[in-house]
Amino acid sequence: MQYCWNVRLISQKHIGIKSLFCLVLMATILFSKLSIASTVDEVAQLRQIAQLAEYVGVDYASAVDNGQVINDDEYQEMLEFSELIVEKTSINNDMRLLNENASALQTAISTKQNVNIIRQFTSELRISLLAMMPDLPLPKKLLSKEAMFSLFENNCASCHGISGQGNGVLASGLKPAPTDFTDKTRAENRSLLGLFDAISNGLDDTAMPAFSQLKEQQKWSLAFYVGGLAFQSSSELIKPSQSISLQNWINYSPLILSTETEGLTKNEIEEFRANPKLLFTDQSSPLAITKTQLAAASIAYKNEEYEKAKTLAVSAYLDGFELIENSLDARDKNLRKSIEGNLINLRQALTNAQQVNQLESLMEVTVRQLNDAEELLTETTLSNEALFTASLVILLREGLEALLVVLALMTVLVRTKRHDALKYVHFGWLSALLAGFTTWAVAQSMISISGASREVMEGIAAMLAAVMLFYVGIWMHSKTNAEHWQAYIQKHINTQLEAGTLWGLAVLSFIAVYREVFETVLFYQSLLTQASTTQYSFVIGGFLFGIAVLSIIAWGMFKYSVKLPIARFFSTTTYLLLALSFILMGKAVSALQEAAVIGISPLPITVEIDWIGVGSTWEGIMAQLTILVLFIAYMYRSRRKQIII
């Protein structure tokens, strides 16, 4: 456990901090591993049942017609699959209701009921299963149309045919016959999730294998490709509907979408199935994500899925609106504040079943404001001055705290004559830069990191840093007396620091910087979408000027601090670390509130000072007051000891 460092550099008396930190870290890792282990198998089981149910609903029509078996092989497959669904839903007591529905489906198939009855059973079964599953990490983009066709040709055409009609060179010897993806009736009852699962896992008792060698993006691209073969794309591109999330586009069949979703026409569904890149193009817009997630939250609320509605509302802010706040501030700061407040109010209203009227009114106002914001941001690009200023503010706001933490660690090491330990601090912040950019790159190409996960990560990191800085500040204050410092030097100056202590410095440096990097990159990425290519130089100019400002601050503080008398140095550094601890604690609470981990209890008055982490909630104020009260109590106790001595 290299993260569990010895804190002897600070004080031999407080070795309990090390043990406590180790225990918390180990418990967190163990809990996360157990949670993952306990849910992965369950989700895989639910996905498989949903896949089987959809397959039955789609293919039953080719097995039975008017109460008569028209294809014995297909009918036997329907019986086998329905039996398998019953078997899988009987394993767990939590699936009792699902098992009853599965048994009803099995009975309906055995008695050769009408296809509409079968599809009603399978549809209800899938909807229940999907409600029990977490949302999937979705691709950021699909492969090109040419790449998708090549993928289909190399992996699927031998069975399904080059045009997807189920007439490949191997088709005649296969039972059941390969799927005809151009059959529109069949395609209208097939979800993209079902196609993705068939590609990923194969189908039992059929010739369909699992394409486990393909990457996730390739599997999704194949699913979208074959899912669109039955539909025609118009020559004119239409703007994607904002009434449903991409997750629901994938989870449900076109037939379910057209009957269960208000404001979504059959023509739209066919257009998006035939040309799915329309969905991914617009999904990249932060405001489009905000409106889509709010619409999905409203649907979840109407379905009495209140926790899901709250999660979607959190995503509407963190995955969408937050990314354009800096750009909107440059145009209309009051509009930005109003939208931000309404999004928080919506989150709270969505958890209360009794606030239907208030929710509808608030949703209408918020969507109207989002449309106003979209017009502001798209009617013209930001001015050169606004881009420069926004770029500068982003870097200063996100980088100043990290700089001060790293600088404080470095000056302490210099004043304690431990120049050899500086390399650990440098290793920490340089690793954080690399890790931050790597995380962003992975989030862009391989996995989807939600805004909520990002905020939780930032909140926990800020809270850890706040506690550690507060502790270091207390230690610094204890050395403000010159005699105490000389005694400390005599005792420790020649002591070789243990590896755990030095790596502890690296970890603190890493935490301080990493929590800022990923979010900073996202903010700049969003800012660039508001600029024309000819204006990129102003964004870069603001960034470089910000680096220059931070460099001057670092140079000035370092030069001044190392020349201070030792008592003054420790005294000044104490209050700097206390201020940083105060700021980070406020921002930690704010981040966890935005991720809906901590509740929001607004103050009777609005007081927001972003630079020092002060917000208008009781939780944030109380957390920051705790830092101040503890420090004051420590100061009072120290002075009493001095008087007694």
- 179-208 pLDDT per residue, tens: 899 999 889 989 999 899 899 988 877 888
Cβ neighbours for 557, distance < 8 A, ≥ 6 positions apart: 404, 407, 411
What are the extents of the domains in the chain? Answer: 42-132, 145-166+178-379, 381-644
Cα–Cα distance measured from residue 235 to residue 229, given in angstroms and rounded to the nearest whole number: 16
Question: How confident is residue 244, by pLDDT bands cut at 50, 70 and 90?
Answer: low
Cα–Cα distance measured from residue 282 to residue 237, given in angstroms and rounded to the nearest whole number: 12
Task: Identify the CA nearest to 509 among candidates 401, 395, 397, 405.
Answer: 405
Residue 561 has pLDDT above 60, yes or no: yes
Better pLDDT: 419 or 550: 550
Mean pLDDT confidence for 58-68 = 90
Query: Do 351 and 309 form a contact (C-beta atoms < 8 A)?
Result: yes
Residue 28: per-residue pLDDT: 40
The pTM is what? 0.48
Residue 620 has pLDDT above 60, yes or no: yes
Cβ neighbours for 417, distance < 8 A, ≥ 6 positions apart: 493
| Average pLDDT of the residues of the chain | 76
- How many C-beta atoms lie closer than 10 Å to residue 46's C-beta? 22
Residue 95 has pLDDT above 70, yes or no: yes
Give 65's strand partners: 68
Cα–Cα distance measured from residue 98 to residue 371, given in angstroms and rounded to the nearest whole number: 42
Q: If you ran DSSP here, which 8-state letter would residue 577 be given? A: H
Residue 23: per-residue pLDDT: 39
Residue 286: per-residue pLDDT: 81
Residue 33 has pLDDT above 50, yes or no: no
Percent over 90 (pLDDT), the chain: 11
Q: If you ran DSSP here, which 8-state letter would residue 319 be given? A: I
Structure tokens at 83: 């039996």
The three state secondary structure string of 78-141 is HHHHHHHHHHHHCCCHHHHHHHHHHHHHHHHHHCCCCHHHHHHHHHHHHHHHHHHCCCCCCCCC
Mean pLDDT confidence for 448-477 = 68
- How many C-beta atoms lie closer than 10 Å to residue 54's C-beta? 26
Question: How confident is residue 153, by pLDDT bands cut at 50, 70 and 90?
Answer: very high
Which of 314-318, 352-356, 376-380 is least confident?
A: 376-380
Better pLDDT: 97 or 565: 97
- How many C-beta atoms lie closer than 10 Å to residue 173's C-beta? 9
Residue 160: per-residue pLDDT: 94
Strongest mean pLDDT among 218-232, 417-431, 436-450 = 218-232
Mean pLDDT confidence for 258-274 = 80
Structure tokens at 370: 């989002």
Q: Radius of gyration of the chain from Cα atoms?
A: 30
Better pLDDT: 490 or 89: 89
Which of 159-163, 417-421, 442-446 is least confident?
A: 442-446
Mean pLDDT confidence for 57-82 = 90
pLDDT in tens, 486-543: 454 444 444 444 555 567 677 777 877 877 787 787 777 767 766 767 778 888 888 8
Query: Do 615 and 625 form a contact (C-beta atoms < 8 A)?
Result: no
Residue 41: per-residue pLDDT: 67
Structure tokens at 58: 């789609």
Task: Identify the CA nearest to 251 among candidates 130, 118, 123.
Answer: 130
* Helical residues (DSSP H) of 191-332, grouped into ranges: 192-201, 216-227, 246-251, 254-260, 266-274, 277-283, 286-302, 306-315, 325-331
Better pLDDT: 383 or 399: 399
Residue 243: per-residue pLDDT: 55
Question: How confident is residue 382, by pLDDT bands cut at 50, 70 and 90?
Answer: low
Q: How far is CA 123 from the centre of its chain?
A: 29
Strongest mean pLDDT among 41-45, 156-160, 441-445, 538-542 = 156-160
Query: Do 310 and 350 form a contact (C-beta atoms < 8 A)?
Result: yes
Give 459's strand partners: none
Structure tokens at 102: 């599965």
Residue 113 has pLDDT above 90, yes or no: yes
What is the length of the chain? 645
Query: Do 230 and 253 form a contact (C-beta atoms < 8 A)?
Result: no
Residue 435: per-residue pLDDT: 81
Task: Identify the CA nearest to 574 among candidates 411, 353, 367, 354.
Answer: 411
Better pLDDT: 451 or 109: 109
- Output the furthest CA–CA distance in the chain (Å, rounded): 101
Q: How far is CA 181 from the centre of its chain?
A: 34
Residue 276: per-residue pLDDT: 82
Percent over 70 (pLDDT), the chain: 77
Cα–Cα distance measured from residue 186 to residue 181, given in angstroms and rounded to the nearest whole number: 8
Residue 109 has pLDDT above 90, yes or no: yes
Mean pLDDT confidence for 441-457 = 61
Task: Identify the CA nearest to 226 among candidates 284, 278, 165.
Answer: 165
- How many C-beta atoms lie closer than 10 Å to residue 495's C-beta? 9
